[in-house]
Chains A and B, each alone.
Chain A
Amino acid sequence: MNSFTFTQAPGVAAAVREHAAHEGAAYLGGGTNLVDLMKENVARPAHLIGLKHLPLAAIESTPDGGLRLGALATNADTAYHPEVEKRYPLLAQAILAGASPQLRNMATNGGNLLQRTRCYYFYDLATPCNKREPGSGCSAIGGYNRVCGILGTSESCIATHPSDMCVALAALEAVVRVSGPNGERTIEFADFHRLPGDTPERDNNLQKGELITALDLPANGFSQRFSYLKLRDRSSYAFALVSVAAALELDGNTITAARLALGGVAHKPWRDPEAEALLIGQPATADTFGRAAARALAGARGYGPNTFKIELARRAVVRALRQATEMTPAPDDNAFQNSNP
């Protein structure tokens, strides 16, 4: 771990000013990812700005019928908030599919967006990684890339964004509110994270010194038909190999609105408007779901150890859409919930 200085910011404006005043500054939320990265010597901030005194932990309704999630509300408090449970159960489900209770108790909503990839090579300083050391090369391409991306990858990086929460936020079309040296602005969720391109060191479109203050959820939470399906190497406390957030509205058996986002497959939560469009006006059947899934994975590319993700993701999309339609719990949850001794 680098030597670093630390201050506890009293407010948003002070935090932003503090950031601008220090080269190599970083905001510290729950610290569940940043502190880890510092211990691994992957992140080396010279100055940390503690955020815990900032008044950003509230979760409250907005005038347009939506819900504002404070950036410093913990993942746990968000997932178990009655308004989230009632109006945005897809989000609650996605949050609870991630990490462990201990981590969710510490992790903040803003920090969740900013967690960094779990690509093996990013974490291992003995190996080149363009995301960690721009220009050094991508070890994952041609290497052990089981966890890496199949969509939107580039020659310089095939890392994925590891969040579950963000997959639901993408599907729900949340808006990210930020405050920075140039004042406040909002960023559509789809525009928040970036594809790696030739600048994989940049995970998102925040400008230097910008601080996430809140996430705004639109009024429609798709609370009637939704599913968050996460596939991983064990039943809990593992990052997604593939995850799918699916949300539908039906008129009879005809799909009138559809949202589909994939996790574990790309540098950002992956949405494909064309795949969603293929669902609209169609009957909620396996054929329809299959067509949308095929479209969503049409541009996918495997890199060897991760090639199975293409087929897995296709099947996961079909399953998630079916679960959303039928509002049946995932068979895993259903079959095993009473099995524990």
Chain B
Amino acid sequence: MSQTIARPPDIHLGTDYIGRPTSRVDGPAKVTGAAKYAAEFNVPGRYYGVVVSSPVTKGKITKIHSAPVLALPGVVQVFSHENAPALASLDKSYKDDGALGGSPFRPLHAPRILFSQQPVALVVAETFELARYAAFILKIDYEAEPHATDLETQRDAGFEPGKGKFGFQPPPAPRGNAKQAYEQAPHRHEAEYTHLAQHSNPMETFATTVEWLGDGNKLNIYDKTQGAHNVQRYITKVFGLSKDEARVVSKYTGGGFGGGLRPQYQVFMAVLAALELKHSVRVSLTRQQMFSLGHRPHTLQYLRLAADDHGALQSVRHAALAETSQFENFTEDVVSWSGLLYQCENVKLDYRLARIDANSPIDMRAPGAATGSFALECAMDELAYKAGVDPLAFRLLNYAERDQNENKPFSSKKLRECYHQGAAKFGWENRNPAPRSTREGPLLVGYGMATGCWHASQQKAAAKARLTADGRLTVSSASNDIGTGTYTIMTQIAAQTLGLPLEAVTFVLGDTSLPEAPLQGGSWTAASVGTAVKNTCDELAKKLLGLAQKMDDSPLAGVGFEDVQFVDGQIRRNDDITQSVVIRDVLQASGEEKLEVESGATPDTAKQLPYSMHSHNAVFVEVKVDEDLGTVHVTRVVNAVAAGRILNPKTARSQVLGSVVWGIGMALMEESVMDHRIGRYMNHNFAEYHIPVMADIHDIDVVLVEEEDDIVNPLGVKGIGEVGLLGVAAAVANAVYHATGKRVRDLPVSIDKLL
């Protein structure tokens, strides 16, 4: 494997850490078990709550037979809608930062059942085993009603969702005349692309430990979340607590993938039980219950594309129909990519929802784009074949120099370099374009490629920096590290800004007692929190320079902030770096014990607004298919990503590696399959919901394409947690076509579909 990095790692760069491959600062804690996750805070005397899930998909609870369970010694309480206290009454109190349009689900609120596995009760006991046993024997009577869970039967029930969720924009208005252009074009393709629901299933299941501190209603809430402040706002609104009473802590998160963008029901239940019982309580969900949470929605996509005889795209029509729940409108951007990725004058995009009796979907890694780009990029491959153009050449031919959806230039776009560098590394030129043309022994070999595109965005964030007399810097922001490397890159930014060694810098996150950061999602954390950390450390540096200039015979006296550099533990004059002050001496000389600054960053919207800001990637895939047996192996992947400045090539590369693995799972394995008679996902466990294992993963080559961008944010970063996933599933499906001549348009490409 290889990687393209901005600077070779073997050159000593002092405290210039940004752009240097750096191992995770939290790695040792994770591999030694010192890192504590939500269900590992062993607060003394805690009770255990086990959630009871509805076997019924729609209907109502008629009776909860709590008495026999409560009679068991050690069982503390059975919470349900029958005895839950009166809480906030308005929907708005239940709307978190990731809330959707509609009416949020309220656990234990009413006897009504809205989806299979809906939490209907919480059994609290002195031990986990007892709570689980009691939950099993708790008898609940239901009155079931007919349900509808199959999106296929709701094709005519689609509606336009309008706005709703933060950040969601309905598809752009049509441009040109897609229908007419399609009918007049010589090369045409139309098809439907589908996938069932997918569940993100982070390794750490959702869990909350609530520590009851007394003193009024004071709680420490150790929660698995992607946003501590979001959970705090939700809990304080719902339970009428003050911020002081509800401190939310989330130091380590064993995978997020979007599932933690909204407070999940276990935190509600744990807090409810703790407040009612005035006692510490832990609630963890089982893997099976993870399938009761949000998911990437089952989506049906209609694609209709046309090209002229030169291979120029003439018409793009992309219409998506996705499931949502009966109570909320889950929206994601599935179709706008089809008006953005390629130059085309005639574009019509539609996005509709239809209601089924299931829980609301939730953002899942590259929400919308993962769905939409799969369909678009498969359709582009199909049209390239019909037009007789190489799939890569076809994309270059239709390269969008401008965002036609928004009619804006790109702040930067190195997608062409992604294509060229990726293709060169992969050996795309060796490809015989004819399907079924390449064999290796009994196996058919196929090459496929696809493109991806993701938002580069920045949100408001705050940070605090404290330098102590011992020369140690602590920087904090209530962000989260869902495995992405937040701890590490923030440490790098802070260390470089103040010219301190990494070892002298600690970054603290995941605690509502810290300055607020946005939800950890959208690939915006590096840009948002990174800029906040940079600004805050810059301000601290300015204060430090002020103190340094007050030192006796200071060589820095009279120079401006722009005239000095903070490097290798020193403040040096730019015009003569031998004129310097050791940072550790500054505080000691000043007599101050610490220097502290709280600041932050907001996006420079005036600067950003004229531009379309996106990251891009190009994925090249080799598959080997045993045609007789329908088995597919993804033997080689090259993923070339242009995502602005890469803060840490090592963690960035890991993000892309993980994305490729995820994409292979999406292509070949992942689907949550419902039995619509029951309205329940039946493969709701890790034995039957398949994700790749080591044996499924072969060569993955990550190319980090250099891209400079001074529009997106002062750091020039675009984020890399999601873009790497895009195109992978499509590239695999396209490679399977090249190998076998078979188009599989409904994911996953499983054995049965290739027989």
Contact = CB atoms under 8 A, between A and B. Distances in A.
B166 interface: no
Nearest to A128: B678
A237 B693 contact: yes
Nearest to A306: B752
B381 interface: no
A330 B631 CA distance: 12
A143 B700 CA distance: 38
A319 interface: yes
Interface string B658-699: 000000000011000111011010111101101111111111
Interface stretch (B225-233, B409-417, B435-443): B435-443
A311 B627 CA distance: 13
A2 interface: yes
B755 A311 contact: yes
Contact of B751 (A118, A121, A241, A341): A241
Contacts of B116: 126
Contact of B629 (A236, A315, A335): A315
Nearest to B626: A331
A127 B680 contact: yes
A104 to B, nearest CB: 15
B42 interface: no
B752 A308 contact: yes
Interface stretch (A12-20, A208-216, A227-235, A245-253): A227-235
Contacts of B683: 120, 144
Interface stretch (B129-137, B201-209, B234-242): B129-137
Given A236-B693, A315-B628, A144 B682 contact: yes
Contact of B678 (A126, A331, A336, A341): A126
A7 B158 CA distance: 60
Interface residues of A, number: 43
Interface in B451-499: none
Contacts of A335: 440-441, 443, 624, 633, 635
B750 interface: yes
Contacts of A126: 55, 116, 678, 680
Contact of B755 (A142, A236, A308, A332): A308
Contacts of A332: 626, 631, 633
Given A126-B55, A143-B675, A231 B629 contact: yes
B631 A231 contact: yes
Given A3-B133, A144-B682, A233-B750, A336 B628 contact: no
B14 to A, nearest CB: 32
Contact of B129 (A1, A239, A340): A1
A341 B129 contact: no
B1 interface: yes
B629 A319 contact: yes
B677 A143 contact: yes
B388 interface: no
B610 interface: no
Given A239-B687, A331-B626, A335-B624, A312 B752 contact: yes
Given A143-B675, A231-B629, A315-B629, A331 B443 contact: yes
A296 to B, nearest CB: 16
Contacts of B751: 231, 233, 241, 308, 312
A182 interface: no
Nearest to B698: A339
B214 interface: no
A237 B635 CA distance: 19
B690 A233 contact: yes
Interface in A277-323: 308, 311-312, 315-316, 318-319
A201 to B, nearest CB: 20
Contacts of B697: 340
Given A118-B688, A120-B688, A341 B693 contact: no
A9 interface: no
B630 A312 contact: yes
Contacts of A235: 633, 693, 695-696
A238 B682 CA distance: 16
Contacts of B668: 233-234
Contact of A144 (B630, B635, B673, B687): B673
A341 B1 contact: yes
Contacts of A241: 751
A281 to B, nearest CB: 26
Contacts of B441: 331, 334-335
B682 A120 contact: yes
Contacts of A146: 673, 752
Contact of B696 (A118, A143, A234, A341): A234
Interface in B682-728: 682-685, 687-688, 690-700
A336 B675 contact: no
By DSSP majority rule, is chain A's interface helix, strand, loop, or mixed? loop
A144 B675 contact: yes
Given A1-B129, A233-B751, A139 B633 contact: no
A121 B682 contact: yes
B61 to A, nearest CB: 14
Contacts of B55: 125-127
Contacts of B680: 124, 126-127
Contacts of B677: 139, 142-143
A308 B751 CA distance: 9
Contact of B633 (A123, A125, A336): A336
Nearest to B117: A126
A236 B694 contact: yes
A61 interface: no
A147 B689 CA distance: 12
Contacts of A39: 132
A339 B635 contact: yes
A236 B687 CA distance: 11
Interface string A1-35: 11100000000000000000000000000000000
A126 B688 CA distance: 17
B443 A139 contact: no
B694 A1 contact: no
Contacts of A238: 687, 690
A207 interface: no
Contacts of B636: 339
B699 A236 contact: no
A234 B696 CA distance: 7
Nearest to A318: B628
A128 B750 CA distance: 28
A234 B748 CA distance: 12
A41 interface: yes
A267 B675 CA distance: 22
Contacts of B700: 341
A297 to B, nearest CB: 14
A3 B132 CA distance: 11
Nearest to A233: B690
Contacts of A308: 751-752, 755
B477 to A, nearest CB: 35
Contact of A319 (B1, B133, B628, B687): B628
A231 to B, nearest CB: 6
Nearest to A334: B441
Contact of A2 (B133, B687, B699): B133
Contacts of B629: 231, 312, 315-316, 319
B745 to A, nearest CB: 17
B688 to A, nearest CB: 6
Given A142-B677, A147-B688, 10 more contacts: A120-B675, A124-B684, A126-B680, A127-B675, A139-B677, A233-B668, A234-B692, A235-B633, A318-B628, A319-B629
30 contacts: A41-B136, A120-B675, A126-B55, A139-B675, A142-B677, A143-B678, A144-B682, A147-B688, A231-B630, A233-B669, A234-B669, A234-B696, A235-B633, A237-B693, A308-B752, A308-B755, A312-B755, A315-B629, A316-B629, A318-B628, A319-B629, A331-B441, A331-B442, A331-B443, A331-B626, A332-B626, A335-B440, A335-B633, A339-B698, A341-B698
Interface pairs A-B: 9 shortest CB-CB: A126-B55, A235-B695, A308-B752, A339-B698, A120-B682, A236-B695, A144-B682, A41-B136, A143-B675
